[in-house]
Amino acid sequence: MSLLIRGGEIVTPDARYKAEIYVEDQTVARIGTDLSVPPGTEIIDATGKWIFPGFIDPHVHIYLPFMATFAKDTHETASVAALIGGTTTFIEMCCPSRTEDTLAGYNLWKEKAQGRSACDYAFHMTVSRFDQNTEAQLREIVRDGTTSFKIFLSYKNFFGVDDGEMYQTLTLAKELGVIVAAHCENAELVGRLQQALLAEGKTGPEWHEPSRPESVEAEGTARFATFLENTGAVGYVVHLSCVPALKAAVDAKGRGVRLSVESVLPHLLLDKTSAERAGLEGMQYVMSPPLRDKRNQPALWSALASRLIDTVATDHCPFDNEQKLLGRDAFTQIPNGIPGIEERVSLIYTYGVNRGRMDIHRFVDALSTRPAKLFGLFPRKGTIAVGSDADLVIFDPTYRGVISARTQHINNDYSGFEGFAVEGRPAVVTVRGKIQVRDGNFVGERGRGQLLRREPIINWRSN
Ligand SMILES: [Zn+2]
């Protein structure tokens, strides 16, 4: 299978130029002008379009038993939605709970994805407890090519680890060269505040944010950074949502802590007034950390532009309306999560690049190159270069559309971004040289996706 893409403009974090791309045997074979190609080569006209490296979503949930139910997507539905939106690789949180065996959980997640994903994928391995078996199991998982861990400082007694377990996880990660992603909120405070609010009869979704205020996230972020500083491990703060947590992260970066920061689509574009709507509508917008006061957004966008925030992920986590209603009597029972795997690229292009909040190079960096570098996928993924996988997004900046649950491809009955206009979308998306998407339709091969084996981080790059 060979492809020639001509007429488009290639964009990477440090370059922008018109050139032809010739793809052979799943990788980019040549980049140049007036390329001569063998007969039978399929030719794609990309005139007037951008050519981006396939986008990488470094934080999604697909198979997820959580809060007495299961997230709605399968690897079939989520991967097709991801590809239609321009994401050619996702990194899923493998999340066994505290009562489950770590290695058994890893094997279960692998089995769920095996042969079912249309795009490539990898896992972050959640360490939800650290007992006498954990260390040997984590070594085995790293040998299997899963070279990033995830810890939760929140969700006490379910996914959450205590400070001792965090220390053990980071110490092992340092030895193995594994990056550790962390959900940073103070579990004790969240639990106490939730109980206090419920005791006052404050049960609606509008009380979710006050139960996990900004200071609680700032504390978690600062504590994680302190533990990184004292173990020498490399860390990654997931879904940073607010200015006080950003200050804690930036302060840590400034004193040399090896820390990177992710923000997610909902925190950049939605705010807590959505979760303050009455009943089900509010429940749809419950995630953790919660949607915040809108005043945080300019700081998040500007940190993203200046690279103090490294990446934009989604924390895609779809629960449908019926599941959200599990929390009708208490906000603490609302399954947490907002979907977004399908919309990230077009929304950040529209509200980031087109609104002048970030340039097109930083856009490619934050949504593709930087995640590839942080998580051991670069230069196989995250760039357009000879020898790299031919994961390409030919992006039509003239497309105009509106996001709606009626037309989405994920398996859910609402969209957190209902009614948002988008300016641009992928016209053609390839995964290792195979055309998987044309103009919003999946036209490719289901089950094409491969589990990406990764090497431990060899060099830490602070920017
Ligand atoms: Zn998450």
Residue-by-residue DSSP string for 256-323: T--EEEEEEHHHHH--TTTTTSSHHHHHTT--SSPP--GGGHHHHHHHHHTTSS-EEE--B----HHH
Q: Look at residue 463 in the predicted model and tell me its pLDDT.
A: 41
Q: Is 316 helix (H, G, I), strand (E, B) or coil?
A: strand
Q: How far apart are CA 164 and CA 131, in angstroms?
A: 11
Q: How remote is the CA of residue 64 from the centroid of ligand 1, in Å?
A: 10
Q: Kindly state the tokens that stand for 246.
A: 């950003």
Q: How far apart are CA 442 and CA 435, in angstroms?
A: 9
Residues making up the chain, counted from first to last: 463
Task: Report pLDDT for 426.
Answer: 98
Question: What pLDDT does 462 receive?
Answer: 43
Interval between CA 38 and ligand 1 midpoint (Å): 45
Q: How far is the CA of 158 from the centre of ligand 1 (A)?
A: 14
Cα 61 to averaged position of ligand 1 atoms, centre (Å): 6
pTM of the entire structure?
Answer: 0.97
Judge whether 187 and 210 are in contact, CB under 8 Å.
Answer: no
C-beta of residue 380 within 8 angstroms of C-beta of residue 48 = no
State in Å: Cα 463 to ligand 1 middle: 24
Q: Which two tokens stand for residue 117?
A: 């994903």
Tell me, what amino acid is at 393?
A: V
Q: What is d(CA 298, CA 296) in angstroms, rounded to the nearest whole number?
A: 6
Residue 272 to residue 207: CA distance in whole angstroms: 10
Phi and psi of 221, rounded to 5°?
A: -65, -45
Helices (H), 232-320: 243-254, 265-269, 279-283, 297-305
Cα(15) to centroid(ligand 1), Å: 32
Reference 71, options 405, 401, 339, 458; nearest CA is 339
β-sheet with 2-6: strand ranges across? 27-32, 20-24, 2-6, 42-45
Distance 96 CA to ligand 1 centre (A): 13
Question: From the CA of 273, how far away is ligand 1's center (Å)?
Answer: 21
Chain-centroid distance of CA 207 in Å reads 26
Tokens 């593709």 locate to 368
Task: Tell me, in angstroms, the distance from the centre of ligand 1 to residue 93's CA.
Answer: 7
Query: How many angstroms is it from 239 CA to the middle of ligand 1?
Result: 8
Nearest alpha-carbon partner for 104 in 145, 132, 70, 133: 133
Give the pLDDT confidence score for residue 24 in this predicted structure.
97
d(CA 128, CA 110): 18
Q: Strand 441-442 to strand 434-438: parallel, antiparallel, or no bridges (unpaired)?
A: antiparallel
How many whole angstroms separate alpha carbon 105 and alpha carbon 126? 9
How far apart are the CA of 60 and the centre of ligand 1, in A? 6
CA of 236 to the centre of ligand 1 (A): 13
Cα 264 to averaged position of ligand 1 atoms, centre (Å) = 10
The Å distance, Cα 2 to ligand 1 centre, comes to 37
* pLDDT of 460: 54
CA of 123 to the centre of ligand 1 (A): 12
Show the low-confidence residues of the chain (pLDDT under 70): 458-463
In the reported structure, the alpha carbon of residue 317 is separated from the centroid of ligand 1 by a whole-number distance in angstroms of 7
Q: Rounded to 5 degrees, what are φ and ψ at 225?
A: -60, -40
Q: What distance in angstroms lies between residue 183's CA and the mean position of ligand 1's atoms?
A: 8
* CA 112 to ligand 1 centroid distance, Å: 18
How far is ligand 1, taken at its centre, from the CA of residue 299, in Å?
22
Question: What 3-state DSSP class applies to 140?
Answer: helix
CA of 169 relative to ligand 1 center, distance in Å: 18
24 DSSP β-pair partners: 2, 27
CB within 8 Å of 310: residues ≥ 6 apart: 236, 260, 261, 262, 366, 370, 374
- Beta carbons within 10 angstroms of residue 191's beta carbon: 17
